[in-house]
Amino acid sequence: MRTSTGSMTMLFLAAFYIAAASADEGSGYATAPWVATFSVDLDGKPGGPQETFSVRVHPEWAPEGAKRFEDIVKSGILKDARFFRVVPQFMAQFGIPGTPKVAAEWEAKTIPDDEVTQSNTRGRVTFATAGPNTRTTQMFINFGDNSFLDKQGFAPFAEVLDDGMKVVDRIQQKYREEPNQGSIQSKGNTYLETNFPDLSFVSSLMSGPAVQKVGAATNSALRSQAL
């Protein structure tokens, strides 16, 4: 059967767009806003009372940052990670895995910068950076209006939802900037538990809204699901 040049061109273009769409879907990253929930041990004592807060991740704000956060949620690397730098009226910083080997692996996985499209206002979540294209897993939650960070390249990728900042505001602040980040990287939670035993920490991080309890039962329709 003979096929005209025009028909061949149309078939080629159709195949090209189908392949491109498949590659985009194959990336596996969310392109629409989605919710993740932190469970936090505020008093730093394993097995203690848990508090939760949820964040809405916005891929349209900072695509690279949103993808990295999705990687973090899927990998589970922030279980037991401490909020190691908490400055009142400024921010709560966290994101170094508690196991040195894991921390070293992820420290090497830098991501490209995002354009800053949103401001660092109260409740916005932003990756820390040490310069151009150096973001890894460290991030912080803004306690107040830190819009002065916008011009320094700090691109928010998520926002704390509803009354979640009531939990964030209770993250342990007494150590402020005392923990040494180099020691955290090399010695992990052993260093932090010995020297700063009351640091609040992430007990779990899951995709989905917080579990809602109705009496003694749990509403399974709202149960968090791992990505």
Classify the phi-psi angles of 68: left when phi > 0, otherwise alpha if psi is within -120 to 50, otherwise beta.
Answer: alpha
DSSP label of 82? B
Output the six-digit token pair for 220.
Answer: 């399974």
User: Comparing C-alpha atoms, which of 89, 92, 87 is closest to residue 55?
Assistant: 92
> pLDDT 10s digit of each residue in the chain, 227 long?
444 444 444 443 333 333 333 334 446 999 999 999 999 999 999 888 899 999 999 999 999 999 999 999 999 999 999 999 999 999 999 999 999 999 999 999 999 999 999 999 999 999 999 999 999 999 999 999 999 999 999 999 999 999 999 999 999 999 999 999 999 999 999 999 999 999 999 999 999 997 654 343 333 333 333 33
* Sequence-separated (6 or more) residues with CB below 8 Å from residue 38: 52, 53, 54, 55, 202, 204, 205
**55 strand-pairing partners:** 36, 160
How far out from the chain centre does Cα 18 lie? 32
Contact between 107 and 129 (Cβ < 8 Å): no
Output the six-digit token pair for 79.
Answer: 């279980």
Helix (H) or strand (E) holding 23: helix 5-26
